[in-house]
A = this chain, B = another copy of it.
Amino acid sequence: MKQLSTKVTSNAHGQDSSYFLGWEEYEKNPYDEIKNPNGIIQMGLAENQLCFDLIETWLAKNPDAAGLKKDGQSIFKELALFQDYHGLPEFKKALAEFMEEIRGNRVTFDPRKIVLAAGSTSANETLMFCLAEPGEAFLLPTPYYPGFDRDLKWRTGAEIVPIHCSSSNGFQITESALQQAYQQAQKLDLNVKGILVTNPSNPLGTMLTRRELNLLVDFITSKNIHLISDEIYSGTVFGFEQFVSVMDVLKDKKLENTEVSKRVHVVYSLSKDLGLPGFRVGAIYSNDEMVVSAATKMSSFGLVSSQTQYLLSALLSDKKFTGTYLNENKKRLKIRQRQLVSGLEAAGVTCLKSNAGLFCWVDMRHLLDTNTFEAELELWKKIVYEVKLNISPGSSCHCTEPGWFRVCFANMSEETLDLAMKRLKEYVESTDSNRLISKSSHERIKSLRKRTVSNWVFRVSWTDRVPDER
C-alpha cells in the first residue's frame, strides 16, 4: 500500500525548477566582499535590505516593543497566552492604517475584514482553500512568481491557467489574452474560479495600469468570478505615478458594497515593503464575510507570533515612523533601480521600464544563440557559473518569450551592485567578440553545451534548498 501521500511523492512542490537551482549554486559559493570576492553575487532574491537602519533606529528608541513591555512593565504573560485567531486588535488596526497610507489614504481598510496569516505564502494558500475546489482553476498573467505553483496548487489541488502576456505591449494584460485563457481553461475542462494578479508585478516591476485594472474588474463581473490582487509590493512604488490599487478602482467605479466587491480580495505582507520576511506577517483583506470567517478559522494553521504582532503594532502605530519610512524607502529604491538600469545599459542590456518592486525585468534576448528556452537556460548557466551572478530566468516565471531575466537590486550594497554590473559588462563584451569566431567551432561548442544541459538537469533534479522569497 502506498505509504505516503501523492503530495509527498510527486513534484508538485515545484522545487525542481531552475529558479531554485541557481539558489543552490549560490549557497555553495556565495560572494563576500572580503572572504570570497570571486563568489556568486545573489541577484535572484527579492529582498529589501535598503532601510533596515530606519527600523533599527526606531527599535533603539522604543525598547519596550521588542522587550515584551508596555510602559516599562512586562506584558510577557499576556503575549505568551494570546493565541486568538482574530489577531491582536491594535496590530490589525495599525496594519489597516498602513495599507491606507500606502494608498494615499484614498481608500479605507476595515480591520475587521483583515485576516492575518504567516506570510502571504500562507495567505494565498488559504484564499485558494476558500475559493477553489480541487481541480478548479485560477487565471494568472505570465510571467508570474515561481512560488505560486506551490502556494496556489500543491495542497489545495487547484490549477493555474496562464494569461499570456508579451513584450509587444510591455507585458500588459489584454482583453483577448484574458478571453483566450478563459477559453483554454474550458478546453481543459477546468472550472475558472477567478483571476490572481500581483500588483505591482513580480517579476515585471511594473504597476498594473488603470486600464488593466478596469479590464480585470469588468471581466470578473461578467464571468461572475473572483479577483485576488496580491499587493505585497505596494509600498515599493518609486515611480512618479502613484500606486493604483484594485480598491481604488472599485471606489472609482462606485462598486463599493456591491456583489462584485465581495469577490475582490487583497493580499498583503510586510516581507517586501518593510523587509521582514523572517517575521512571517501576511494578511488577507476581503469584503465577503464568509470568506473572512472561514479564512480566520483557517489562520489557525499559520498564526502570526504574538511577540511579532506586538512589536509590529508598536512600529506601525508610529505614524511619524511610517510616513518617514515609506518616503525614504521609495527614494532609496529609486536610486538603486537607476544604478542597475544604467549599469545594464552600459553593458548594452535594456530592461522593461519599471516603477516598482525590488528587481528589473531584463531583456537579454539579443544574447541568446537561438530564440529558444534551451538557449535561455544555456545563457543562464553561463551567467551563474561564469559571470557568477544568480539571476532568475524568465522560463521559471512561465514567461512565453525566451531571453528575459529577473534581476534584483535591493538586496545588496551599492558596491556589490557595481561589481555585478562590471562582471556583466565584461561578459557581454567578451561574448560580442566571440560571436566573430568561426561558425564551425561555434557549432561545436553549442552541441557540447546542449549535452551538458541535459546531464546537468537530470543530475540536480532533487533540490532541497529553497528560498521562500519571491
Contact = CB atoms under 8 A, between A and B. Distances in A.
Contact of A15 (B60, B66, B76, B297): B297
A346 interface: no
Contacts of A6: 133
A392 interface: no
Interface string A204-235: 00000000000000000000101000000000
Question: Considering the complex of A and B, which 10 residue pairs feature the smallest CB-CB distances, nearest first?
Answer: A278-B306, A305-B305, A302-B302, A8-B294, A82-B278, A83-B277, A305-B308, A83-B468, A52-B77, A13-B297
A56 B83 contact: no
Interface string A1-16: 1011111110001010
22 contacts: A4-B290, A6-B133, A8-B293, A8-B294, A13-B297, A49-B77, A52-B77, A52-B80, A56-B74, A56-B76, A79-B279, A80-B277, A81-B277, A83-B271, A83-B280, A83-B469, A118-B118, A118-B280, A280-B306, A297-B466, A300-B468, A305-B305
A153 to B, nearest CB: 13
B279 A7 contact: no
A303 interface: yes
A271 to B, nearest CB: 8
Given A4-B290, A66-B68, A291-B4, A301 B121 contact: yes
Interface of A: 1, 3-9, 13, 15, 47, 49, 52, 55-56, 59-60, 63, 66-68, 74, 76-77, 79-86, 118-119, 121-122, 125, 129-134, 150-151, 154-155, 191, 224, 226, 263, 271, 275-280, 288, 290-291, 293-294, 296-298, 300-308, 311, 464-469
Nearest to A132: B5
A82 B9 CA distance: 28
Nearest to A55: B76
